Amino acid sequence: MKNTIEILREGVYTSIQDLRRTGFKKYGVPKSGPMDEYSHILTNWLLNKKITSELLEITYYGPKIKINFDTKIALYGSKCEVKLNNNKIETGKTISIKSGDVLDIKKCIDANRVYLGFSAKMKLKKTFNSKSTYDKIQIGGLNGKKLLKNDTIEFDQLKNCKSKKIPSSFMRFNNQNMIIRVIKGIHFDRVNNYDNEDEIKFKISPNSDRMGLRLIDYKIKLNDYSEIESTVVTKGSIQIQKDGNPIILMSDSQSTGGYPIFGNICKIDISKLSQVKPNQKIKFKFISLKESNKLIEYEKEKFKSRLNLDLSS
């Protein structure tokens, strides 16, 4: 018998993502990968898998899945209501599954996305060296698309793993009025209405997706509207659009942009930013590149010493 899972209900938007697709931006193919890398990595840790391994990224409201083999699963990211054969289960820990079990993932409660991993490995072909789904050109994942009702995913290489729980020092809390740290961008000298950074708040527009988070409620004015030369951008780059509203580029974003760069979100804060729900507010706090690098080193050390995980792998 084959090891498979079967999608009984598809949910809002569930796609297969591994940590990243690199080396193809020069052809215009984005990095893709999870919006919230932090939760992705911790979900894989719960299953003793490489931090880069593929899993399901579940957005807003999840799928109902029948699992046709004995395995282990883990869910982490947004808090959400999850049922296994109609009994409530917890996220943030490894859970044993018996063949025939039905997993029902409902609404994401305090954030946007939750990640579902399996101790077994998905049998999928890589495109451009990654299993990440990018549906615009239908690559990665299952047939290059989000998961649909009646889809079946095959697994191989059954691995057994010890059950684990996310330590409390790694739990993240998603709240209102989040402060997001930013390094000023290469065109920040064009900005002329940002003197009171403590008082300026932005709302995350519901019109945000895996390509970018659109910010509304405060329009940025420039002292120079002349065209800029196209520049390279990546996940976390904040561009000022023509109407003054910023857009923060995310996993499926393009690699070049003709809009002025307001700033770049610190690497360490991109994951929690991705989980801020539509219509909630954020505030930027400027820090230096040096400070951001310190945060990166601190995080790397924390994962290494407490979870024995190498973030540079």
Partner 1 sequence: MIDIIPSGDSIIILKDLKYLQSSIISKEIEKLNLSEVEDVISLKNSIGVIFNPFKIKSDRLIKKIQGIIKDHNIKQKHKFKTWKIPICYDEEFAIDIKEISHYTKLDFEQIKQKHLNKSYDVQIIGFLPGFLYLGDIDKSLYVPRKNNPRTSIPEGSVAIAANQTGIYNINSPGGWSIIGKTPLKLFDKSKIPPIDINQGDKIIFHEIKKEDFKNY
Nearest in space to 264 (alpha carbons), one of 298, 303, 292, 241: 292
Minimum distance from residue 128 beta carbon to partner 1 (Å):
7
292 part of the interface to partner 1, by CB under 8 A: yes
**Region binding partner 1 by CB under 8 A among candidate stretches 9-17, 77-85, 155-163, 291-299:** 291-299
Q: Candidates 265, 273, 276, 282: give the one binding partner 1 (CB under 8 A).
A: 265
Minimum distance from residue 146 beta carbon to partner 1 (Å):
17
Distance CA 207, CA 197 (A): 24
Q: Which is nearer to partner 1, 109 or 289 (CB)?
A: 289
Minimum distance from residue 97 beta carbon to partner 1 (Å):
32
Distance CA 107, CA 94 (A): 20
Here's the x/- map for partner 1, 114-143, by CB under 8 A: it reads as -------------xx-------xxxx----
23 part of the interface to partner 1, by CB under 8 A: yes
Minimum distance from residue 299 beta carbon to partner 1 (Å):
8
Q: Which is nearer to partner 1, 31 or 214 (CB)?
A: 31
Minimum distance from residue 147 beta carbon to partner 1 (Å):
20
Q: Please classify residue 270 by burial: count the beta carbons closer than 10 Å to its beta carbon, then call 0-12 exposed, 13-18 middle and 19+ buried.
A: buried
Distance CA 222, CA 219 (A): 10
Distance CA 142, CA 122 (A): 10
Nearest in space to 259 (alpha carbons), one of 225, 286, 218: 225
203 part of the interface to partner 1, by CB under 8 A: no
185 part of the interface to partner 1, by CB under 8 A: yes
Here's the x/- map for partner 1, 204-243, by CB under 8 A: it reads as -------------------------xxxxxxxxx------
Distance CA 302, CA 52 (A): 18
Distance CA 37, CA 115 (A): 10
Assess contact for 208 and 249: CB atoms under 8 A: no
308 part of the interface to partner 1, by CB under 8 A: no
Does an H or E element contain 75, and which?
strand 71-77
Minimum distance from residue 144 beta carbon to partner 1 (Å):
8
Distance CA 91, CA 111 (A): 14
Q: Which is nearer to partner 1, 120 or 182 (CB)?
A: 182
Q: Which is nearer to partner 1, 138 or 175 (CB)?
A: 138
92 part of the interface to partner 1, by CB under 8 A: no
**Region binding partner 1 by CB under 8 A among candidate stretches 57-65, 112-120, 170-178, 264-272:** 264-272
Q: Which is nearer to partner 1, 196 or 308 (CB)?
A: 308
How far does Cα 27 stand from its chain's mean position?
Answer: 23
Assess contact for 48 and 119: CB atoms under 8 A: yes
Nearest in space to 56 (alpha carbons), one of 39, 71, 70, 69: 39
171 part of the interface to partner 1, by CB under 8 A: no
4 part of the interface to partner 1, by CB under 8 A: no
39 part of the interface to partner 1, by CB under 8 A: no
Nearest in space to 15 (alpha carbons), one of 30, 31, 35: 35
Distance CA 260, CA 114 (A): 32
Distance CA 117, CA 74 (A): 5
* Interacting residue ranges for partner 1, rule: CB under 8 A: 20, 22-29, 31, 127-128, 136-139, 183, 185-186, 229-237, 254-256, 261, 263-267, 289, 292-293, 296, 300, 311-312
